[in-house]
Chain A
Amino acid sequence: MTDDNKVPIYSVPDLKNATDDAIAPIFTSLGYTEDHTLTDVRLGLGFFGTAIAAITFAADYKYGFDSTKTLVTVAVALYFLVNTALTVWVWKVQGGVVYSGHNGTKKVKIASKAKKYDPTYHIEVTIQDEKKAPIVRKDDAKFMAWFDEQGHLVRKPLEAFLTQAL
């Protein structure tokens, strides 16, 4: 069995995924509550679409092509509508947001980005306190700052990087 917490340190996507995953626990320990709305809407849309396809499949299997034509026409149209909504949601609304949460009245949203062969972690932090205008801050750092030579994520430096962006 391999050590699951270890990341191949030359693979940028792995570094990025591991870092993305580590953000939520850090914020939880800082007293933030994670807000899952973005993910839940995506999952909801996605599974709604899948359910439509599943029902279509069952109806087609049971009643055959000719008697289900109207139903299938509606289902196919609806499916691709839902799928388009899902795509728009993932690209436009969710963007690269990997964490969103709040601490009291303070809302924090973090989007991350990394270019394929460039080991730099770019984050965009949006902070909104009650009704004040949101503040957007961009920051970046090399993954080497919080991964050791073996590919273990070291929490302290990542936490420092995140809190300094806050």
Chain B
Amino acid sequence: MLASLAALRPRQLASQILSFALVLSTAFMLWKGLSLVTNSPSPIVVVLSGSMEPAFQRGDLLFLWNRSPDAKVGEIVVYNVEGKNIPIVHRVVRNHQGGLPYTKLLTKGDNNHADDVELYARGQFYLNREKEVIGSVVGYIPFVGYVTIMLSEHPWLKTVMLGIMGLMVVLQRE
């Protein structure tokens, strides 16, 4: 396999590397484009826990929209607490200060007994709509995100997949 790579002329090799790079960069730029349109740093997220059952199951793919400045009670939002890198999908149960722009939210998982105060940063009793919420759920596809759960639970799968993808693109010309 490597011999067949070495046999390529430099421009051919460059072409094949380019086609692989273009696949990756186009995917990334589409993601960034979507991110700009929705105004969310992460416009598509995967549900990682069962705390919102029966609305969402583990592995559901959620589409977010982050252009409305307020969040109504009953809305499902995704937020990132500073210092913790896992986005949490929970429902707004209280809107402390209805007035903009200092909207403060209280959230709770449908399937949890207690509200989310424990999950927030130390000493904080509310969510900052502007700073911490990365979007409201506007649509979802059940289950298809399960692959990413598999990948994050078994990180070596990522390396294997990326390697196979790369080799395939470089080696085949059709």
Contacts and interface: CB of A to CB of B under 8 A. Distances in A.
A79 B41 contact: no
Interface string B16-57: 001001101110110011011000010000000000000000
Greatest chain A CB density within 10 A among B3, B26, B29 is at B29
> Main SS of the interface on chain A?
helix
Interface stretch (B7-15, B105-113, B139-147, B157-165): B7-15
A60 B3 CA distance: 37
B25 A49 contact: yes
Contact of A49 (B4, B22, B36, B174): B22
A88 B21 CA distance: 19
A64 B29 contact: no
| Size range of the chain A interface in the assembly | 20 to 34
Interface stretch (A69-77, A135-143, A157-165): A69-77
A80 B41 contact: no
A162 to B, nearest CB: 19
Interface stretch (A50-58, A104-112, A122-130): A50-58
Contacts of B28: 53, 56-57
Contacts, number: 62
A10 interface: no
Contact of A39 (B15, B24, B26): B15
Interface in A63-102: 64-66, 69, 72-73, 75-76, 79-80, 83
Contacts of A64: 41
Contacts of B3: 1, 4
B84 interface: no
A53 B7 contact: no
A45 to B, nearest CB: 10
A30 B168 CA distance: 35
Interface residues of B, number: 22
B44 to A, nearest CB: 14
B29 A46 contact: no
A150 B39 CA distance: 58
A83 B36 CA distance: 19
Contact of B29 (A4, A36, A53): A53
A4 B32 contact: no
A56 B18 contact: no
A50 B21 contact: yes
B122 interface: no
Contacts of B12: 21
11 contacts: A39-B11, A43-B14, A47-B21, A53-B29, A56-B29, A60-B32, A72-B32, A76-B36, A80-B29, A80-B33, A83-B22
Interface of B: 3-4, 7, 11-12, 14-15, 18, 21-22, 24-26, 28-29, 32-33, 35-36, 41, 173-174
